[in-house]
Structure 1
Amino acid sequence: MMLFSRVRGLPVLTIGDADRVGVVRALTVDAGSGEVTHVRIRRGRMRREAVVAWDDLGAVGPDLLIARPAGNPSGVPPHHDLVGSRVLTECGEERGTVLDAAFDPVTARIEAVLTTRGELPAGRLLGLGDHALVIRTGHGHPG
């Protein structure tokens, strides 16, 4: 299991020649499927960020990510930062702010979202947009 906060800033190298692509800036999440879909990579100061589909990574380790050489994939979804997002229920009730998220680096599935109000299981995620992470109301749970 890895935390988003531990992945941010890790170097990204290419397979084979181990050229440095850049460093991880952010992870793009599809909250509906509960998966990390893309890695956003900060390249040099004047170069645009690179985007790599999670499926195009060759390896993910605690100290670096290995990417297969590729250009920007087509159909890149819009990026919304999960970490720092407000949490709202589908009824519009405030449920804190996202502090971090834990995910499986092999499957890219989000295991849990850590918020200022506690841990949310990934099965409660509905969507992530500009303004908030929307979750299912937890029935039978206080709060």
Structure 2
Amino acid sequence: MLFSRVRGLPVLAPGHGGRLGTVRALTVDAASGRVTHVRVRRGWPRGETVIALGAVDAVGPDGLVVRAPGGRPPRTPHRDLLGSRVLTECGEERGTVLDAAFDPADGRIEAVLTTSGEVPASRLLGLGDHALVVRTGRAHHL
């Protein structure tokens, strides 16, 4: 499933009052190549809640169904993957992230789609405030 198709979907918690809000973003641990949390916009003034991907029972084109409405925020800060600059470990510019494909069952990122082409998840190194860092796939520069 694509990140862009998940954004804006309703988040439902049938045992906890129905609709919680809408998906604002997905939190990614680039080093492990996985989506770890779903960030849910609950509307003003309630703000945002964070739900661990493990608490999501189903993901489909009509929405997400979760077991519990809230959770412990991730230990690492949230950074949006979509729109991030892409740099190699050598500092070379490789475009901007347009979208990413992931497996909603386990959160595994399959590929990152950039303005310079597709980057396999096996090349992801880290995601920070400045950029998504990827392996070049060739020998390091000296």
TM-score interval, smaller chain? over 0.9
Matched residue count = 139
Aligned to 1:100: 99
Residues 44-53 or 65-74, more deviating: 65-74
Give, in angstroms, the shift of residue 118 of structure 1. 0.3
For structure 1, the residue ranges without an aligned partner over 5 or more in a row are none
Q: Retained in 2: the 8 A contact 1:82–1:98?
A: yes
Identical amino acids, percent of aligned pairs: 70
**In 2, distance between residues paired with 1:54 and 1:15?**
17
**In 2, distance between residues paired with 1:124 and 1:74?**
26
Residues 19-28 or 55-64, more deviating: 55-64
1:80 correspondence with 2:84: no
Structure 1 residues 60-83: Cα deviation after superposition (integer angstroms, max 9, x where no partner): 112100111243315443100000
Aligned-residue Cα RMSD (Å) equals 1.5
Q: Retained in 2: the 8 A contact 1:15–1:69?
A: no
TM-score by length of 2: 0.92
Alignment of 1:18-33 (within 5 A): 19-33=18-32
In the alignment, residue 46 of structure 1 is paired with which amino acid? Answer: P
**In 1, distance between residues paired with 2:76 and 2:20?**
21
TM-score by length of 1: 0.92
Aligned to 2:35: 36
Aligned to 1:127: 126
**In 2, distance between residues paired with 1:33 and 1:55?**
15
Give, in angstroms, the shift of residue 53 of structure 1. 0.3
Aligned to 2:15: 16
